[in-house]
Amino acid sequence: MIEPSVFAAHWLGHRHLTRRVIAAFPPDALFTFSPAPPLRPFGEMVWELHGQTAYTLRGLLDGDWGEPTWDTLPGTDRAAVLAAWDGQTARIETGLPGVPAERYGETLTLSWGEMLVFTAVIGSIDNEVHHRGQGMVYLRELGTQPPDFWDRS
């Protein structure tokens, strides 16, 4: 239906926008502000996205879809979170275009059931878009104008 390079560019566009949303947060609010607990602070959501994406990339690029491992949060410092985000984005940038198109049509058996590789990968992207939308509401409530949704540069 599409080329893996198109899909890679699509994902990277989302990564860039999410980075701008993280960078727009007042540093002291990233891991503390929630407008309505049990909604989590945006920093915790970002770390979930990082963990889910790490698992997806390990499966897609290394073929290891075993149990996920979860990296320890490098700290609640915004710069540390951005550095981890950038490292993962670089891995998408170098790894994704070389994934053969056929791989997305393979069926996986994960501990929570069977799914297509495509479904696992788009699920990571969707979760990013979902939580980023939530983070943009937080920004408005913090008095900060969010980055433009349509800008993926």
For residue 116, the SS3 value is strand
Residue closer to its own copies by CB (options 9, 82) is 9
108: contact with its own copies by CB under 8 A? no
Would you say 49 and 73 are in contact if contact means Cβ atoms under 8 Å apart? Answer: no
- Which listed residue (66, 71, 98, 149) binds its own copies by CB under 8 A? 149
β-strand pairing of 107-110 with 113-116: antiparallel
Q: Where are the alpha helices (DSSP H) in the chain?
A: 4-24, 42-62, 78-95, 117-141
Task: Kindly tell me which of 91 and 103 has the beta carbon lying closer to its own copies.
Answer: 103
Restricting to residues 115-144, name those near its own copies by CB under 8 A: 116, 118-119, 122, 126-127, 129-134, 136-138, 140-141
74 lines the binding site for its own copies (CB under 8 A)? no
Nearest to 92 by CA among 65, 63, 118, 121: 121
Q: How many residues bind its own copies (CB under 8 A)?
A: 33
Stretch that binds its own copies, among 33-41, 51-59, 70-78, 86-94 (CB under 8 A): 33-41
